[in-house]
Amino acid sequence: QQQVKQSPQSLIVQKGGISIINCAYENTAFDYFPWYQQFPGKGPALLIAIRPDVSEKKEGRFTISFNKSAKQFSLHIMDSQPGDSATYFCAATSGTYKYIFGTGTRLKVLA
């Protein structure tokens, strides 16, 4: 119930392509879904976040799509760039500081 399942584990995309990372959850009490980006040797950093009352949120090339009925949400990176190569984590929480993180997706964007 408390898990957030993330896929794929790794992803290789050509420069300019679209990267898509998916997450699924079971706990319907989750009400906040952030995505974190982590570069090698660095800590995770908040990238973008969404609440379940909207179906999509866009910030620059990054978009979260949210499907409440399916209990799924995904991160889309448009026009992917080599600088986007990092590990991406989805997370979920139900009104508290306690985030449940996905297992991470290692993205590599080829130049």
Burial class (CB in 10 A: 0-12, 13-18, 19+), 9: exposed
24 binds other proteins (CB under 8 A): no
Taking CB under 8 A as the binding criterion, the range among 17-25, 55-63, 76-84, 102-110 that sits at the site for other proteins is 102-110
Is-contact 35 59, C-beta < 8 A?
no
**CB of residue 110 to other proteins, shortest distance in Å:** 24
Site residues (CB under 8 A) for other proteins, limited to 42-81: 42-46, 49
Number of residues that bind other proteins (CB under 8 A): 20
Q: Which is nearer to other proteins, 15 or 42 (CB)?
A: 42
* Measured distance CA(100)–CA(8) in Å, rounded: 17
